[in-house]
Amino acid sequence: MRSHVTPAVVLTAFAVLVVSACTTGTDTTTADARPTAGPVAVLPDLTVGPDPKLHAMLPESIRTTNTVRVATDIPYPPFEMYANEGSKQITGIDYDLGQAIGARLGVRFAFTAQKFDGILPAVQAGKFDAVMSAMTDKKARQKSVDFVDYLNAGPGWLVAKGNPAGITVVTDVCGKPVGVQTGTNHQKLLQQRQQLCEAKGLPPIRILTFSKDSEAQLALRSGKVVADYLDEVTAAYVASTADGGNAFSTVTGRAAVGEYSASPMGIGISKDRAGLKEAVRAALQSLMDDGSYRKILGKYGVPNIAIPKATVNGALD
């Protein structure tokens, strides 16, 4: 039909109408608010589709690029890891949740590996829009990013199989070498445990820090440290999978790990992306409401770390 409309005056009028329509603020907003990404198969039995209303909440810069740049420290299983030895395909709880949140928002969550202690500076420098790396929501970190809280898990010890060091209470590590990843909340907790050693007249914990937790695990294998202090979920996952479950054991519980706050893990959001934290929170809540969130946690066998509601900056230091 369109090929039959050839008079110049009609074409001119049509062109004016098109230009006029494209330059009105209302129509531009409508076009920008339309998700460009379709449904995503996050799991074999879970496909997540976009919600135009949530897409419209995103900052214009995100809608323009159709991408949220996400920093993550790999490996830290089961939160983030590579699918296979030698593979660069990322998988894990954070990655799957990120794909689901992105799909609900109608954009792509693009994950890039970044050392943990350099993540927040990289976000502040504008290299990333968000962080999904099992990061604890702490008030000190809220100076750098805002958090959309999404999980909760306490610390634990990863020890050699059978717990030969005999760690049952936290002061059992006084005077002994233990490993921890640099820049983590667990490093701060270990430093606080020194007070317990001092109160009992015991020598201080010999804290050895590593840029990646996988390096701390190697130190544990070699006997350089007697334990690795990390979150209980990762400890359990590594203990059950490394060498077919024959390399490590775990020690958990407040008596063994010491007291800690119930601060949740959070998705760190750049303070320079106005509206992004609200959009991510709303998308996460929708995944909680429709069961997708728990289905993803169920894939990794950790439904117990779920929280009932997506909150913002819920640190309980």
Secondary structure of 13-73 in HEC code, one letter for each residue = HHHHHHHHHHHCHHHHHHHHCCCCCCCEEEECCEEECCCHHHHCCCCHHHHHHCEEEEEEC
Query: Are 215 and 284 within 8 A, CB to CB?
Result: no
Same fold flag, 35-152+263-312 and 155-257: yes
What are the residue boundaries of the structural domains of the chain, listed by start? 35-152+263-312, 155-257
Give the model's pLDDT for residue 286: 98
Q: For the segment 138-176, what is each residue's pLDDT rounded down to a tens digit?
A: 999 999 999 999 999 989 999 999 999 999 999 999 999
Give the model's pLDDT for residue 33: 56
The CA distance from 230 to 109, in Å, is 26
The CA distance from 14 to 26, in Å, is 19
Give the model's pLDDT for residue 38: 78
Query: Are 181 and 218 within 8 A, CB to CB?
Result: no
The CA distance from 102 to 39, in Å, is 10
CATH dotted code for 155-257: 3.40.190.10
Distances from the Cα of 253 to the Cα of 106, 136, 156, 210, 234, angstroms: 41, 18, 7, 24, 15
Give the model's pLDDT for residue 260: 85
Give the model's pLDDT for residue 261: 75
Give the model's pLDDT for residue 130: 98
pLDDT beneath 50, residues of the chain: 1-32
Give the model's pLDDT for residue 35: 66
Distances from the Cα of 203 to the Cα of 175, 191, 240, 251, 264, angstroms: 5, 13, 32, 21, 32
Beta strand ranges found along 240-296 (DSSP E): 248-251, 265-270
The CA distance from 146 to 56, in Å, is 20
Q: Which residues contact 90 (CB under 8 A, 6 or more apart)?
A: 72, 74, 80, 81, 82, 83, 111, 113
Specify which residues 267 forms β-bridges with: 148
Residues written for the chain: 317
Query: Are 277 and 146 within 8 A, CB to CB?
Result: yes
Could you say which architecture CATH assigns to the domain 35-152+263-312? 3-Layer(aba) Sandwich (3.40)
Give the model's pLDDT for residue 4: 37
Specify which residues 103 forms β-bridges with: none
The CA distance from 128 to 122, in Å, is 6
